[in-house]
Amino acid sequence: MKTRDIAATEPMTLAFEVTVSSVQELSPNFRRITFGGYCLRDFGVNGDTRDLRIKLMIPSLAEDGAELPLPVFEMTQSGWYREWLAMDPAERGSMRTYTVRQSRLDSVYPEIDVDFVMHFDADGHGGPAANWARNAKPGDAITIIGPNNRHAQCYTAEIYGGIEWRPGMAQRILLAGDETAVPAISAILESLPSYMTGHAFLEVPEAGDFLELTSPADVEITWLARGAAIGRSRPHGELLQQAVRSAVPEPGWVGIKASDGGAGPEPEDVNVDVDILWETPARMETAEIEATKNPDMPAGAMPFYAWIAGEAAVIKDMRRYLVRDVGIDRKQVAFMGYWRQGKAEL
Ligand SMILES: Cc1cc2nc3c(=O)[nH]c(=O)nc-3n(C[C@H](O)[C@H](O)[C@H](O)COP(=O)(O)OP(=O)(O)OC[C@H]3O[C@@H](n4cnc5c(N)ncnc54)[C@H](O)[C@@H]3O)c2cc1C
């Protein structure tokens, strides 16, 4: 069978029924949960996982606190997601998006690690995923929706849909994100080729959340702590925005030609309270990419690429700064709202 035929017959994603192998406190606000299961032999993409996203199905709780069984769907059946959405939210469970931080899929017992941000309000209430992660213990069962490696092997990781990190020919990069993007940035950094240079900025709640990070690339990694003390914590995203502004200071940077006043086009507005802020070069239509091409660059040259993810309103501000004020081509930046302040994922 040709690879094209395999891609056409295999579902892109599968539901993996896994159990918690271990739980590790990484820092005050990060908890690593390792999921294992023989079914994970069918999980994976072609190459490094980078910022590979997965969906976790979090069971609803009955009044006595017991987990309700999750609805079972055949992933090959089209329309399962719509069917799931139509179910009573009190019974269907919650679907939340996370990143594969690390994987050991070739092991006898395959495993993946997911790093959860432990976010709770002043009364200790979190969303379904944060609550589930707080109570997780070895043996707990959960369902992960993730890539079917038989389908994904037909594509390079570069073009696989669940991975947004696509730097193309870029040699100089900018990675910026809040704590929810730390797992993705960490995995991307580990996968970089040695010829890449640039900056990675990671904003986290407190200095205790600075994690050990390595990269074969010549990328300067900067951790930013908002500060733990109540009343003294910096607003979410403030430090990240300052860091990005100082690393990408003005038009003319990375060879961008300054037009009138150095400004680029005003990006179309996204109401982050209603719409998802998700703008990645991979999602742009060819015509749009053509329209944003810099005529001063040789064809195919993409010397710079930025990947920015975190709280949607913060990301929206950075998008305006980089696209309008600095004038960076939109095809050179991936902007992703990973969560929205005050709004549950679904
Ligand atoms: C592609 C992608 C990858 C992601 N990877 C990760 C990952 O690896 N690790 C990770 O921890 N998160 C990750 N996230 C973010 C995660 O999906 C959200 O934080 C999600 O809202 C958590 O679900 P919940 O059930 O805990 O909270 P929800 O029910 O969705 O939200 C409940 C309340 O909590 C608030 N809230 C949600 N997240 C946070 C937060 N981090 N800090 C403060 N308040 C918050 C919401 O604004 C809302 O008011 C990722 C998101 C995307 C889109």
Q: Is the backbone of residue 325 left (phi > 0), alpha (psi -120 to 50) or beta?
A: alpha
* Closest CA to ligand 1's atom 45: 119
Using the structure block, give the residue that is written with the tokens 């992703």: 336
Q: Which atom of ligand 1 is nearest to the CA of 99?
A: 8
Structure tokens, 325: 């004020």
51, pLDDT greater than 70: yes
**How much is the pLDDT for 250?**
62
Lowest-confidence pick of 182-186, 223-227, 266-270, 280-284: 280-284
Rounded to the nearest angstrom, the distance between the alpha carbon of 265 and the centre of ligand 1 is 31
Among 253, 191, 176, smallest CA distance to 222 is for 176
Structure tokens, 165: 């990190």
Neighbours of 230 (CB within 10 A): 7
Rounded to the nearest angstrom, the distance between the alpha carbon of 141 and the centre of ligand 1 is 20
| Pairing relationship of beta strands 111-117 and 102-104 according to DSSP bridges | antiparallel
**Cβ(53) to ligand 1 under 6 A?**
yes
Q: What is the pLDDT of residues 116-128, one digit of tens each?
A: 999 999 999 999 9
pTM over 0.85: yes
73, pLDDT greater than 90: no
136, pLDDT greater than 60: yes
Rounded to the nearest angstrom, the distance between the alpha carbon of 345 and the centre of ligand 1 is 7
**Cβ(241) to ligand 1 under 6 A?**
no
Q: Which of 55-64, 81-90, 237-246, 301-310 has the highest mean pLDDT?
A: 237-246
| Pairing relationship of beta strands 197-204 and 278-279 according to DSSP bridges | unpaired
Q: What is the pLDDT of residues 222-273, one digit of tens each?
A: 999 999 665 678 999 999 999 999 998 765 555 444 444 556 778 888 888 7
185, pLDDT greater than 90: yes
Average of per-residue pLDDT values in the chain: 87
| Pairing relationship of beta strands 218-225 and 111-117 according to DSSP bridges | unpaired
**Cβ(198) to ligand 1 under 6 A?**
no
* Closest CA to ligand 1's atom 23: 129
Helix 238-247 and helix 312-320: axis angle, to 10°? 20
**How much is the pLDDT for 269?**
84
Spatial separation of the C-alpha atoms in residues 190 and 213, rounded to whole Å? 8
170, pLDDT greater than 80: yes
Determine contact, residues 143/37, Cβ cutoff 8 Å: no
**Cβ(197) to ligand 1 under 6 A?**
no
Spatial separation of the C-alpha atoms in residues 160 and 164, rounded to whole Å? 8
* Closest CA to ligand 1's atom 19: 339
Confidence band for 65, pLDDT divided at 50, 70 and 90? confident
Q: Which domains does the chain have, with CATH numbers?
A: 3-152 (2.40.30.10), 164-339 (3.40.50.80)
301, pLDDT greater than 60: no
Q: Which atom of ligand 1 is nearest to the CA of 346?
A: 30
**How much is the pLDDT for 263?**
62
**Cβ(281) to ligand 1 under 6 A?**
no
Residues 6+ apart with CB under 8 A from 338: 97, 177, 178, 180, 181, 309, 310, 311, 312
List 254's β-bridge partners, or say none: none
Determine contact, residues 293/329, Cβ cutoff 8 Å: yes
